[in-house]
Amino acid sequence: MRTVKLFQADAYRTEFEGRVVSCTPVGDAWAVVLNQTCFYPASGGQPSDAGTLGGAPVLDVRAESDGAIVHVVGAPISGTVVGQVDWNRRLDHMEQHTGQHLLSAAFMHQFEAETVSWHLGAEASTVDVSMDSLSADQAEELELTCNQMIRSGLPVHAHLVAPEDVQRYPLRKPPTVEGPIRIIEIEGYDWSPCGGTHVRNIGELGLIKIKNWERYKRGVRVTFLAGQRALRDYLALDRMTRELSRRLSIGVAELPRWTDRTQEELNSLRKRVRTQQEALLTEEAERLLADARRVGPARVVRQSFGGRPVDELRLLAAKVAAAPGCVAVFGTRGALPQLILHRATDLRLDVGQILKEVLPILDGKGGGSPIQAQGGGSRPDRLEEALDAAVARIAEALRQ
């Protein structure tokens, strides 16, 4: 049976009485059909309404092909019930949907770009338009036009039109349903077949904002906010820029230049730090090599470090191993000790193999090549033992 769509007669009505025609269990919920309803079912890009029916929460609302509207409700209900639509959600949907009509109409008027599809999202909504590209200037021009229209306060009308009379209206897109067609008109500006809920006057939107656009399929996807979403976004951005300006003690308009300058400074500082670190590590490697232990034909630097980043120690080990005949045997002190082995290329020694042999001392895991290897374990109390074992294994391997 067809459910009478009270939301089409009056989108602002949130309370109604309906007679339960059927109530069937579906999983943990019940599918309820009423003789009439204010609950909008998900369709035409607009999500369903929320609220309560006979005091039970309405979890979902769907339109069936036979014209029935099914309310998925959390508890069984019967007889005549009072329905209460969540007004905040409904109004938000009315604002986004009317905003979409306005935006789509402006795209058509200004760029002859058709709206291929649209989506009302939980955070923002999108329209996909048939354009090759959209420039920042075009987006701004369009936005200004839409907001000018909003300020002019054009009424929004819903016409129910017999199929034979439809050609009297300059529709933006052809209808997709049979029978009488519901046409939403932004007075004198746009006519679009639509079953959705809309505000009475586009002035109620207050504001529309294009947030972003990108190439999508063979057109452009435009992300927008309308009504209170646009206002809330403006408030949040304003709060954020004021906070940034307060923290940096500069005017909001100076923020981009400040960011560029700081970025440049940061890059040049990074470069200087790298150069200085390089020089310091070279000096440190020389000092360590001066105290290196002779092990057969090699010189071994056995050293444990506390509070040094592992990547820095890897660089230091590489510098030690850059000297002919030298091997770095490094360990990091800390809860999760690391071993780093690195040898000069002129030695015949597989440090990857040696690491594998000594890591069990630390209950550790790791690996590497014959030239360099690294691994970590969970026994900080055995770090010195592991380093000694590595040196002993190196001595043994070099004797062979």
Decide whether 63 or 194 has the Cβ nearer to Zn ion.
194
Q: Which of 155, 158, 103 is nearest to 129 (CA)?
A: 103
Decide whether 62 or 182 has the Cβ nearer to Zn ion.
182
Please, what's the b/e burial string for 363-398 (b: 16 or more CB within 10 A of its CB; e: otherwise)? Answer: ebebebeebbbbbbbeeeebbeebbebbbebbeebb
Decide whether 196 or 377 has the Cβ nearer to Zn ion.
196
Give the C-alpha separation, 83 to 30, whole Å.
Answer: 15
CB neighbour list of residue 77: distance below 8 Å, 6 or more residues apart: 20, 23, 30, 32, 53, 54, 56
- Tell me how far, at minimum, the Cβ of 195 lies from Zn ion, in Å: 7
Backbone angles phi, psi at 236, to 5 degrees: -65, -45
- Tell me how far, at minimum, the Cβ of 136 lies from Zn ion, in Å: 27
Q: Supply the DSSP string of 90-134, one letter for each residue.
A: HHHHHHHHHHHHHHHHHHHHHH-PPEEEEEE-SS-EEEEE--S--
Give the C-alpha separation, 55 to 41, whole Å.
Answer: 19
Q: Supply the DSSP string of 137-158, one letter for each residue.
A: HHHHHHHHHHHHHHHHT-BEEE
Decide whether 194 or 355 has the Cβ nearer to Zn ion.
194
Residue with tokens 């500069």: 250
- Tell me how far, at minimum, the Cβ of 144 lies from Zn ion, in Å: 23
- Tell me how far, at minimum, the Cβ of 184 lies from Zn ion, in Å: 6
- Tell me how far, at minimum, the Cβ of 47 lies from Zn ion, in Å: 13
Residue 273 near residue 279 (C-beta atoms within 8 A): no
Decide whether 195 or 337 has the Cβ nearer to Zn ion.
195
- Tell me how far, at minimum, the Cβ of 273 lies from Zn ion, in Å: 57
Q: Which residues bind Zn ion (CB under 5 A)?
A: 194, 196
- Tell me how far, at minimum, the Cβ of 45 lies from Zn ion, in Å: 7
Name the token pair of 175: 């209808």
Decide whether 190 or 382 has the Cβ nearer to Zn ion.
190
Decide whether 39 or 191 has the Cβ nearer to Zn ion.
191
